[in-house]
Amino acid sequence: MLNGNELSTVRSFKSFIERLVDAKAPGPPLSFSVFHLFCAIEVMSGKTVGRKKLAEQIDVGEGAVRTILSRLVEAGLMTASKMGCGLSVEGLSVWRKFEVLFPKRVSFPPSELSGCAFNFAFLVRGCGDRVESGIEQRDVAVVAGASCAVVVVFQGGRLHIESVSEDVKKTFPEAANQIFEEFKPQNGDVIVIAGGDTELKAKHGAFAASWFLLGDEVDEALQKSAKQQPVPQ
The rounded distance, in Å, linking the Cα atoms of 86 and 49 is 7
3-state secondary structure the chain: CCCHHHHHHHHHHHHHHHHCCCCCCCCCCCCCCHHHHHHHHHHHCCCCECHHHHHHHHCCCHHHHHHHHHHHHHCCCEEEECCEEEECHHHHHHHHHHHHHCCEEEECCCCCCCCCCEEEEEEECCCHHHCCCCHHHHHHHHHCCCCEEEEEEEECCEEEECCCECCHHHHCHHHHHHHHHHHCCCCCCEEEEEEECCHHHHHHHHHHHHHHCCCCCCCHHHHHHHHCCCCCC
Which domains can be identified in the chain, with CATH numbers? 4-98 (1.10.10.10), 102-227 (3.30.1360.30)
Q: Which pLDDT does position 10 carry in this prediction? A: 75
**pLDDT > 70? residue 231:** no
In the chain, the amino acid numbered 155 is: Q
pLDDT digits (tens, 9 = 90+) for 50-88: 999 999 999 999 889 999 999 999 999 999 888 899 999
Q: Which pLDDT does position 71 carry in this prediction? A: 92
Q: Which pLDDT does position 83 carry in this prediction? A: 87
Q: Which pLDDT does position 29 carry in this prediction? A: 57
pLDDT digits (tens, 9 = 90+) for 197-222: 999 999 999 999 999 998 753 344 33
Q: Which pLDDT does position 32 carry in this prediction? A: 85
pLDDT digits (tens, 9 = 90+) for 85-144: 999 999 999 999 999 999 999 999 999 898 899 999 999 999 999 899 999 999 999 999
Strand partners, 120: 107, 194
Q: Which pLDDT does position 131 carry in this prediction? A: 93
**pLDDT > 80? residue 224:** no
pLDDT digits (tens, 9 = 90+) for 9-63: 677 888 888 888 886 655 555 678 899 999 999 999 988 999 999 999 999 998 8
The rounded distance, in Å, linking the Cα atoms of 102 and 93 is 14
Q: Which pLDDT does position 14 carry in this prediction? A: 86
